[in-house]
Amino acid sequence: MTSLELYLHDRFVGLVEPDRRDKSRVTLAIDRAFRSDVVLSESFAAIPGRRPATELISNFLGGYVPEGNHREKMAAKRHVDQDDLFALLAEFGGSIAGAVTLRRPDDAQSREPSYAPLNARDLAALLKQALAESDQGVPDDSRSALPGYQPKVLVAKFNSELAYPHGRAHSTHILKPQVPGREHRIFDEFYSHQLTREIGLSTFDSKIMRAGRITYLAIERFDRTVDGDRVRLHHQEDLAQAMSLDWRESEVKFQEPAWPNDPRRATLRRVGELLGSIPEASALVEQWVQQLTYHVAVGNNDAHAKNIALVHLENGTKLAEVYDAVPNLFQDELINWNLALAVDGKFDLRRISAESIASEAASWGTIREARAYALVEQTLAALDDALAKVEPPREVSPGMTDRLRWNVMRLRQGNEISTPKR
């Protein structure tokens, strides 16, 4: 196979080919007839008849493939090199995040997308496989994948029945099994979903479920909608893609405290400036201030560039809902006070105040500090109410609600979070 067809929704964008000099790179020749109201990526302009820079298209498409041990294991199962971007896209580019799909020349004849019914026993087996083999539970013919380091399985749900997507059929839900030794994690993530739903920072559904002896968190995908027996896609790219961070370097989505200005890595300034450069800048930046306030208030030290996304729709670009926002600082083995991205130069959560968030936001150049401060206060007030109202699952990390209340109280008082009193 020498080329893949790149589609955005059902528009043909152009042909993707391997870069002969570097297996971690691909090229894209954009079709002369390509037209779209939906932005493909913030990292390059999709001009008909042109080829975006190889580095930019590679970082964009590379941002959709599995990461870390998932990439290693999934590539090995297909007998391809985990650094070979074209091969990864040929294997797993059939259904990825957003509305970009990569089709193979042989798709038309032999590879119709299809769904198979999924009973509890088979589902438990898939979840176990995802846990034991770090391979997203994929069978030989699956062409779907998502980034991220947590074990996960992608399934579709039609009329409350689960189905397994074969070939390049699209999933509608992400299932995260409970990881032995980290029993609280999925409950912590679920509690965070309850809170963000309550304060309007997310709308997607989620539930804790069981299949056989496996407990899992089922997360509805905001980049899919079920329409009868069809799955409609909504385009998304994460901020690592939008900023064209090197897809081969898993660490660049985090800022490095020892070298905070490393130009290869994400920073809140870069995120804020990128959002500020999009036509919908003022709404995007305001939403991001609210989301950032939430991440800080719940002690999510994993709000890195791949956990922030843009949704590109026909009527413009929006900030994706809050996802993967786990109150990590309450998981026993993860007590590391450093945030993924420093706020106003501070990595240590205990040093952050409402003023730090507002001052950080003002430095992006799109929003006034007083407006940012008002958004921080509004978000904290809403979260305070939500904490009083939402009953957390019993299985959240011990002390979770007390710690969240502490953070919100300190921030609302205008103080640094500091270390909670025991």
Ligand X SMILES: Nc1ncnc2c1ncn2[C@@H]1O[C@H](COP(=O)(O)OP(=O)(O)OP(=O)(O)O)[C@@H](O)[C@H]1O
| Inter-residue contact 30 to 37 (CB < 8 Å) | no
- Binders of ligand X among 193-212, rule CB under 6 A? 204
The distance of closest approach from Cβ of residue 321 to ligand X in the complex, given in angstroms and rounded to an integer, is 7
The residue within the footprint of ligand X, chosen from 178, 293, 307, 366 (CB under 6 A), is: 307
From Mg ion, ligand X, none, interface partner of 174 (C-beta below 5 to 8 A by class) = ligand X
| Cα separations in angstroms, 129 against 70, 79, 86, 123 | 12, 18, 26, 10
Shortest Å distance, C-beta 21 to Mg ion: 31
The residue type at 224: R
- Beta-carbon contacts of 63 under 8 Å, excluding residues fewer than 6 positions away, are 147, 237, 238, 240, 241, 245, 247, 306
Stretch that binds ligand X, among 72-80, 104-112, 147-155, 381-389 (CB under 6 A): 147-155
Reported residue count of the chain is: 422
Using CB under 6 A as the binding rule, whether residue 337 contacts ligand X is answered as no
The answer to whether 126 contacts ligand X (rule: CB under 6 A) is no
User: What are the start-end ranges of the H helices in 22-167?
Assistant: 54-62, 68-77, 85-92, 107-110, 120-133
| Amino acid present at 416 | E
Q: Which one of 174-182, 277-285, 292-300, 322-330 is the stretch in contact with Mg ion (CB under 5 A)?
A: 322-330
Residue 222, interface with ligand X (CB under 6 A)? yes
Pick the binder of Mg ion from 148, 177, 327, 392 (CB under 5 A): 148
Using rule CB under 6 A, residue 63 touches ligand X: no
With CB under 5 to 8 Å by kind, the binding choice for 416 among Mg ion, ligand X, none is: none
Q: Contact region for Mg ion (CB under 5 A) — 83-91, 183-191, 217-225, 301-309?
A: 301-309
Of residues 52 and 147, the one with the C-beta less far from Mg ion: 147
Is residue 416 a contact partner of residue 351, using CB atoms and an 8 Å limit? yes
User: At its nearest, how many Å lie between Mg ion and the CB of residue 303?
Assistant: 9
Q: What, of Mg ion, ligand X, none, does residue 238 touch, CB below 5 to 8 Å by kind?
A: ligand X
Q: What angle do CA 380, 287, 302 make, to 5 degrees?
A: 75
- Please, which of residues 235-294 interact with ligand X by CB under 6 A? 238
Nearer to ligand X, 92 or 204 (CB): 204
The nearer residue to ligand X, 196 or 353, going by C-beta atoms, is 196
Residue 138 parent element (H or E): none
Residue 215 DSSP symbol: E
Q: Which of 286, 324, 360, 384 binds Mg ion (CB under 5 A)?
A: 324
- Report the alpha-carbon distance of residue 74 to residue 326 in Å, rounded: 25
**Chosen from Mg ion, ligand X, none, partner binding at 223 (C-beta under 5 to 8 Å by type):** ligand X
* CB-nearer residue toward ligand X: 188 or 302: 302
Residue from 141, 138, 25 nearest 83 by CA: 25
Can you tell me the distance from the alpha carbon of 77 to that of 30, in angstroms, rounded to the nearest whole number?
A: 31
Q: Are 103 and 91 in contact (CB under 8 A)?
A: no
Per CB under 6 A, does 150 bind ligand X? yes
Task: Determine, following the binding rule CB under 5 A, whether residue 307 of this chain makes contact with Mg ion.
Answer: yes
In the list ligand X, Mg ion, none, the entry touching 403 (Cβ below 5 to 8 angstroms by class) is: none
How deeply is 370 buried, as exposed, middle or buried, from its count of CB atoms within 10 A (0-12, 13-18, 19+)? exposed
| Binding-site ranges for ligand X (CB under 6 A) | 97, 146-150, 174, 204, 219, 221-223, 238, 302, 306-307, 309, 323-324
